[in-house]
């Protein structure tokens, strides 16, 4: 009989439609794992209500009254998936032996959890859940996700392909994670920086069984953009490169117009003027935009605002 205290952390945003099913599946898995002696009876399922507008928190409260393995954290406002997850992980980091984070819709196969705990028992600190097939995602989601991982790699951020936020972390990995104070938190990237022995567990991803995605395209894009700019300064170098290129082109254009002028062939020059005005204007705007993005990040960091605010908890 092992006494691994496992805490599963589930961020929930307007998930009243999926919670009953999710809780019964998780409850059943916990019962089984306890019977098999894989986890201690003190293991918990922590549901983090990320400022939901529906009955999510009511459901969580009812659940934790009926079954003491369920616990709840209520955030005071919608802090976003990453911050909600962080709120959960930071709350459990001193009480658990290891944590597993998973989405409320159970698109990630919960049967991978026992395999993750086995890895933990072998002394692994971080176990990444990796999808081995994306057949259930729409073609569009698959394409954007692949492009995202490729882009992240090109830009130098170390991310694991097809790994979302389904992972096991040991207590010491969580404690190391708590040393990262950044506001623009991109967990997938930061966990790689934490280091410690890690391994991967493969699973098939299924469809959301109820409710709809809380990640519309707009949120997905801003998530990808945040991920890139909080991990890489390559966009700044790119701007530098583009500026340099623009200078070279300008020199070539100057040489060309001087020569043309020397041969008495200079025309009114309207076209080249218009092109260079637009081109330079464009380059400048893009540059200012990218630099602005970083200044925005610095601005957020220096304010040191709390990343989430817990209103109630019974963990």
**Binding region for Mg ion (CB under 5 A):** 103, 105, 107
Who's near 154: CB < 8 A, 6+ residues apart? none
Cα separations in angstroms, 123 against 89, 172, 173, 193: 20, 12, 12, 19
Footprint on residues 49-88 left by ligand UDP (CB under 6 A): 50, 78, 80-81, 84
**Closest-CA residue to 173 (of 108, 89, 110):** 89
Pair of tokens at residue 99: 């944590």
Our finding on whether 108 is near ligand UDP (CB under 6 A) is no
Interface positions, 183-212, toward ligand UDP (CB under 6 A): 208
Quick check: 215 binds ligand UDP (CB under 6 A)? Answer: yes
**Max CA distance (Å), the chain:** 94
Q: What is the nearest approach in angstroms of Mg ion to the Cβ of residue 210?
A: 11
Q: Which is nearer to Mg ion, 15 or 61 (CB)?
A: 15
Q: Could you say which of 91, 99, 107, 232 contacts ligand UDP (CB under 6 A)?
A: 107
Pick 61 or 103: Cβ nearer ligand UDP: 103
Rounded alpha-carbon distances, angstroms, from residue 16 to 89, 104, 212, 219, 253: 22, 10, 11, 21, 63
13 lies in the binding site for ligand UDP (CB under 6 A) = yes
Residue 105 lies near ligand UDP (rule: CB under 6 A): yes
Burial 292-307 (b: 16+ CB within 10 A, else e): ebeeebeeeeeeeeeb
Q: x/- site string to ligand UDP, residues 114 to 153, per CB under 6 A?
A: ----------------------------------------
Query: Least distance (Å) from Mg ion to the CB of residue 77?
Result: 21
In the list 93, 167, 214, 307, the residue contacting ligand UDP (rule: CB under 6 A) is: 214
Q: Are the beta carbons of 172 and 67 closer than 8 angstroms?
A: no
Q: How many residues bind ligand UDP (CB under 6 A)?
A: 17
Sheet containing 310-313: which strands, arranged edge to edge? Answer: 198-204, 126-133, 163-170, 98-101, 6-12, 44-49, 70-75, 310-313
Burial of residue 272 (number of CB atoms within 10 Å: 0-12, 13-18, 19+): middle
Q: Which is nearer to ligand UDP, 47 or 239 (CB)?
A: 47
Closest separation between CB of residue 133 and Mg ion, Å? 16
Shortest distance, position 51 Cβ to ligand UDP, whole Å: 8
97 or 108: whose CB is closer to ligand UDP? 108
Name which of 56 and 287 has its Cβ closer to ligand UDP: 56
- For ligand UDP, the binding residues (CB under 6 A) are 11-13, 15, 50, 78, 80-81, 84, 103-105, 107, 208, 213-215
């Amino acid at each position: 009989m092992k006494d691994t205290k496992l805490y599963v952390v589930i961020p929930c945003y307007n998930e009243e439609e999926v919670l009953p099913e999710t809780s019964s599946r998780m409850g059943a898995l916990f019962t089984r794992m306890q019977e098999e002696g894989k986890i201690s009876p003190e293991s918990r399922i922590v549901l983090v209500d990320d400022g939901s507008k529906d009955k999510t928190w009511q459901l969580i409260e009812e659940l934790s009254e009926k079954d003491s393995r369920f616990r709840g954290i209520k955030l005071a406002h919608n802090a976003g998936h990453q911050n909600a997850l962080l709120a959960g992980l930071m709350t459990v980091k001193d009480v658990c032996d290891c944590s597993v984070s998973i989405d409320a819709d159970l698109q990630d196969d919960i049967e991978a959890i026992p395999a993750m705990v086995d890895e933990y028992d072998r002394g692994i600190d971080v176990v990444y859940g990796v999808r081995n097939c994306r057949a259930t995602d729409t073609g569009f989601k698959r394409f954007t996700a692949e492009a995202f991982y490729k882009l992240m790699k090109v830009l130098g951020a170390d991310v694991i392909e097809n790994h979302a936020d389904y992972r096991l972390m040991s207590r010491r990995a969580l404690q190391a994670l708590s040393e990262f104070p950044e506001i623009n938190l991109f967990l997938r990237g930061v966990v790689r920086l934490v280091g410690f022995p890690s391994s991967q567990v493969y699973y098939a991803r299924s469809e959301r069984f109820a409710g709809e995605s809380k990640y519309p395209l707009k949120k997905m894009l801003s998530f990808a953009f945040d991920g890139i700019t909080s991990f890489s300064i390559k966009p700044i170098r790119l701007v530098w490169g583009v500026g340099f290129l623009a200078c070279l082109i300008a020199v070539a254009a100057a040489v060309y117009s001087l020569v043309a002028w020397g041969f008495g062939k200079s025309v009114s020059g309207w076209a080249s003027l218009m092109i260079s005005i637009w081109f330079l204007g464009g380059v400048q705007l893009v540059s200012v935009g990218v630099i602005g993005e970083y200044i925005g990040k610095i601005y957020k960091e220096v304010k040191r605002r709390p990343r989430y605010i817990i209103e109630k908890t019974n963990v």
